[in-house]
Structure 1
Amino acid sequence: MTSGVILAGGRATRMGGGDKGRLTVAGRPLIAHVTARLGPQVAGMALNANGDPTRWADLGLPVLADATDDRPGPLAGVLAGLDWAAGQGAEAIVTAAADTPFLPPDLVMRLREAAGPSGLVLAATREEGRVWPQPTFGLWPVALRDDLRAALAGGTRKVLHWTDRHEARLAVWDDPAPFFNVNTPEDLAVAQALACA
């Protein structure tokens, strides 16, 4: 069983702070686009977010805070998701960022197809002949959660530093558009135009 975890634990500094997932595109919050696309692909979903969890109550999802107070980045959200999934009896989670309204409808299937011995897979895009990992989109085995906990405790912060140690595979998309994320007001305008095209 694979569960989904939406990563919304960042500070959104380039957007001026706040919850990026609440920004509206085509009349709906970004996070509503993400849940609508990821939900059908997974057995259940949770949201990784810090601060007051009641502000997300309308989503009807479990809200998972980072295990540490220093907000060390996406890996802390992944760990929170893995701990939650272990309690649900899931063998893996698939993560997606809360600010990516166009995520692929075949994300989970493609990630699972690319899994190697460790079961760890990141999405990636091919642009101008180069492959770019998309580290907030991944398939993460629950079996690696204690290793990830130890890595975070030891100071690891970069996703690729940890995934490379486990020989993570890449599932590569030739079209980068599904992984477009909203980091700035300009990005929000682009997302609006894409959604209404």
Structure 2
Amino acid sequence: MTECAVILAGGQASRMGGGDKGRLMLGDRSLIQRVIDRITPQVDAVVLNANGDLSRFEDLGLPVVADSVPGYAGPLAGVLAGMDWAAEQGHEWLISVAADTPSFPLELVQRLSGHDTPVVLAATPDPERGRVPQPTFGRWQVSLRHELRAALNDGVRKIRQWTQAQGETLVIFDEGDFFNINTPEDLAWAEQHLK
């Protein structure tokens, strides 16, 4: 394996009433612990991206990096923070995963790594819309970090706006592979259906 991963946990969780959404419990483990347990065997190293008081994540035993772009710039800023960390560690590729998606595929990294384009994003099928990108789940060439920083400084916030300009590849996974927890109702559903 040559990839490292960033867990994107820097969101504002506004639909959950704020706070650290990844700390919500699903069964006997938090959402973020489930994500850690799922991604760790797939990569060489894992870093957590969060904002605010980073010491609140010390118990997870992972390095934690904050966004380097001022203000809340969204998940692209988290990807950049992960890229910067990956470059410092000598990694050429970064896998991104979301802290609120506890049951993403166990073969995520293997499937994304099967493509040689600079940016590879997961997607799911949809009968009405065709392919639906899951843009927080991707494989990113770390050497693109300078271009990404420039785009963020120019005000780019939408992941697809930037990835399409990089010649992204979409990899189709199964419908439901990226169920994420955004609302109390989502958490209740997950408690009934995800074990």
TM-score by length of 1: 0.96
Q: Distance in 1 between matches of 2:61 and 2:120?
A: 28
Determine the structure 2 residue equivalent to 1:152: 152
1:176 has 2:178 as partner = no
**Over residues 52-109 of structure 1, what are the superposed CA-to-partner deviations in whole Å (9 max), with x where a residue is unaligned?**
1111001111111001231110000000000000000000110000000101100001
1:132 has 2:140 as partner = no
For residue 72 of structure 2, give the secondary structure of its aligned residue in structure 1.
coil
Determine the structure 1 residue equivalent to 2:9: 8
1:54 has 2:55 as partner = yes
1:23 has 2:24 as partner = yes
Cα RMSD after superposing both structures = 0.9
Determine the structure 2 residue equivalent to 1:42: 43
Q: For structure 2, which runs of at least 5 residues remain unmatched after alignment?
A: none
Q: Distance in 2 between matches of 1:127 and 1:188?
A: 23
Determine the structure 1 residue equivalent to 2:164: 164
Aligned 8 A contact 1:48 1:66 in 2: yes
Q: Distance in 1 between matches of 2:193 and 2:102?
A: 10
Q: Quote the sequence identity (%).
A: 54
For residue 135 of structure 1, give the secondary structure of its aligned residue in structure 2.
strand
Shift of 1:194: 1.4
For residue 114 of structure 2, give the secondary structure of its aligned residue in structure 1.
helix
* 1:68 counterpart letter in structure 2: V
Residue 115 to residue 194, structure 1, CA distance change in 2 (3 Å): farther
Q: Distance in 2 between matches of 1:122 and 1:72?
A: 19
Count of residues in correspondence between the two structures: 193
* 1:154 counterpart letter in structure 2: D
Aligned 8 A contact 1:121 1:140 in 2: yes
TM-score by length of 2: 0.96
Q: Following TM superposition, where does structure 1 have runs of at least 4 consecutive aligned residues deviating by more than 6 angstroms?
A: none
Q: Distance in 2 between matches of 1:139 and 1:182?
A: 22
For residue 95 of structure 2, give the secondary structure of its aligned residue in structure 1.
strand
* 1:182 counterpart letter in structure 2: I
Aligned 8 A contact 1:96 1:137 in 2: yes
Shift of 1:128: 1.5
Aligned 8 A contact 1:7 1:47 in 2: yes
1:65 has 2:37 as partner = no
